[in-house]
Structure 1
Amino acid sequence: MKKLLIATALVAASGAAQAQDVVRLGTEGAYPPYNFINDAGQVAGFERELGDELCKRAELTCEWTTNDWDSIIPNLQSGNYDVIIAGMSITPEREEVVSFSQGYLPPSASAYLALSADADLTSGPVAAQTGTIQASFVAENGMQLVEYATPEETVAAVKNGEAVAVLADKDYLAPMAAESGGSLVLLEREEIIGGGIGLAFRKSDDELRAKFDAAIKSMKCDGTLDAM
C-alpha cells in the first residue's frame, strides 16, 4: 500500500509539473502587422497580442521565440517550440505535416507590389517568400517565380529591378506602398489564396491544440477577436 501511495503521488506530481510547463510560441518576427521585432527587441504586432490573450484564456504560461520562415515547420517538429503563430495560412499541403487550430483570421487578400501600375506580370520574374502560399501560387499560374528567404528581400528585389513585382499579403505590402511616396504601387489585381490563418501544432499535440481552439472560440464569441 505504501508503494502504491508513493507511486500515485509521483504520478500526480508529474502531472502538475507538466501542467506548469511553459508553452513556447514560435513566430517569424519579420512580417508586420502580424509579427515583428520592436525597438526593444521584443516580438510585437497583432499576433503577439493575440497569442498573449490566448495563453491567458487557456491558463497557460507562454514564452515567445523567433525562427526563420523557411525552417519554421521543421523546427516545430523538432521540438524547438510548441506552437507556430506566424500568419500561417491553412493549406492541404501543410495539413499533411502539422495540425491546425481553427482559423483566427479568414483568408486575406494577397497583392502585387510593383514600380508602376502597368507592370506586366508576365514580362519577368515575380518575387515571393520561400515556402509561402504566394510562392506556390506564382509557380502554379504561369508566372516566373523568384524566391527569397525573407519578405524584406522580396520587396528589395522589386526596388532593384530583379523582379517585376512581389506577391505577398496585402496587409504587409499596403503600408510600404503608402510610405513610398509613389515609388511603389499596389496593382489592382489581387488574389485570394489559402483557407484562412491558424496556429500550427505537432500532430501529437491534440490536447494543446484543443486548449487553444477553445480560447480562439471564446474570443470569437465575445467579440474580442473582431475588436483586436
Structure 2
Amino acid sequence: MFKVQRPSLWLALLFLLSLAVSACAPAAVPAPTTEAEIAQPEAPAAPAKRPNVVYALPDLGGRVVRAAVANDYTPLQFIDPATGEAVGWEYDAMDEICARLNCVVEWNTVSWDAMIAAISAGQFDIGMDGITITAERAQQVDFSRPYMTSQQFMLVRVEEDRFTTPEEFAANSELLIGAQPGTTGFYTAVYDILDGDEANPRIKLFETFGASVQALIAGDVDMVLVDAASGRGYIGANPEKLKIVGEAIKSEEFGFIYPKGSDLVAPIDAALETMLQDGFIEHLNTKWFFFYDPNR
C-alpha cells in the first residue's frame, strides 16, 4: 500500500495566495478585433482654459463688470422701438470687450443726471452714455481712451430755413434751443452760441436728450445741438422730420467712465485698441450709423 502524503502547510498557503491575487486583478481588456476598433482614438481631455493669444490681452477670469447706461442716446444706447430691447453701439462694444477679456457685463439703467456721481461713488464699475471727455469730469471719474470722435452740429426740423450758422441763430431772439442739463450740448449752447448765461431763457431744459429732440419735432424749440453720430441716428429714425444745418461747431471725444483708480481702465483700453486695429470699431460704426433701420 502506498502512503498518500499531505501537502505541506507552505504549499497550501501559496495556493490560497495565488487565488487572492487572481481575484483582485482587473479584468483583461479584449484585443481589438476589427479595423475600426484598432483605429479608435482615446477620448481627448478637456482643453485647459487659455488666455487670448491673438492679442495677449489680460484675462479677467469671468469677472462681473457692473455697467451703467441711460438708454437715451440713439444709436449708442436706446430702446429699440421694434423689439422693446435695449440695444446700441455701446452695448455691442462692451459685449465684445468682455468677450476678449473674459468678463461678464451686468447692465444697469441709471439716469444721465445721476450717472457720473454714481460711478464716482463706486456704485458701478463703468458708465457709458456718449460721454464727452472733459477736464472737469476727469476730476470726478477716470476715463477710458477715446473710442469715438464726433462733432457737434445743429439739428433742426426739415423745413427750417431761418438760419444755417450759430451767428444767425443767436441774432434771432425768438429762436429757442433744447438741451439736457449738464451735457456738453448744453454748455456749447451757452458759451459757443449764446451769451454765456447758463440761465438764458432761450435754452429750454429737458430731462433726457431724447425729450429735447421730441420737443424739436413738435415745434417747442427750434434747434438741438447733437453730435454727428447721434444726429445720424435721429435723422435715420425721422428722415421726413429732421435734418442737420451748417458746419460742425466743435469736436468732442467720447470715453467710458470709471471710479477713480479703477483697475479696469488698462485692460479695457487694451481691448479697445485691438478693436480699432482689427476693424471691429469700424464694423460697429457701419452697423449702427449707416445700416440700422429703426422702422424695420
Alignment check: 8 A CA contact 2:63 2:102 kept:
no
Q: 1:179 to 1:40 in 2, by over 3 A?
A: closer
Structure 2 counterpart of 1:167? 225
* RMSD (Å) for aligned C-alpha atoms: 2.2
Q: Deviations over 1:70-124 (max 9, x none)?
A: 1111111233311012211111111111111111112x12221223342342222
Which residue among 169, 190, 193 is the counterpart of 1:139? 190
TM-score normalised by structure 1 residue count:
0.81
Which residue among 38, 56, 64 is the counterpart of 1:22? 64
Which residue among 173, 178, 190 is the counterpart of 2:248? 190
Structure of larger gyration radius: 2
Shift of 1:181: 5.5
Q: Any stretches of 5+ residues in structure 1 without a counterpart?
A: 1-17
Q: 1:218 to 1:74 in 2, by over 3 A?
A: same
Structure 1 counterpart of 2:276? 220
CA distance in 2, matches of 1:170, 1:161: 22
Q: Deviations over 1:50-74 (max 9, x none)?
A: 0001112122122111111111111
Alignment check: 8 A CA contact 1:119 1:164 kept:
no
Q: 1:175 to 1:119 in 2, by over 3 A?
A: farther
Opposite residue 128 of structure 1, the aligned amino acid is A
Shift of 1:136: 0.7
Alignment check: 8 A CA contact 2:69 2:129 kept:
yes
Alignment check: 8 A CA contact 2:62 2:102 kept:
no
Q: Any stretches of 5+ residues in structure 2 without a counterpart?
A: 1-59, 164-168, 195-201, 285-296
Are 2:178 and 1:127 aligned? Answer: yes
Opposite residue 116 of structure 2, the aligned amino acid is I
Q: 1:78 to 1:112 in 2, by over 3 A?
A: same
Which residue among 93, 112, 118 is the counterpart of 1:69? 112
Which residue among 46, 49, 63 is the counterpart of 2:89? 46
2:187 match: secondary structure:
helix
Which residue among 26, 35, 43 is the counterpart of 2:77? 35
Opposite residue 267 of structure 2, the aligned amino acid is K
Shift of 1:224: 2.1
1:25 match: secondary structure:
strand
Alignment check: 8 A CA contact 2:130 2:255 kept:
yes
1:203 match: secondary structure:
coil
Alignment check: 8 A CA contact 2:121 2:259 kept:
no
Alignment check: 8 A CA contact 1:117 1:186 kept:
no
Q: How many residues align?
A: 208
CA distance in 2, matches of 1:104, 1:218: 11
Q: 1:189 to 1:118 in 2, by over 3 A?
A: farther
Opposite residue 276 of structure 2, the aligned amino acid is K
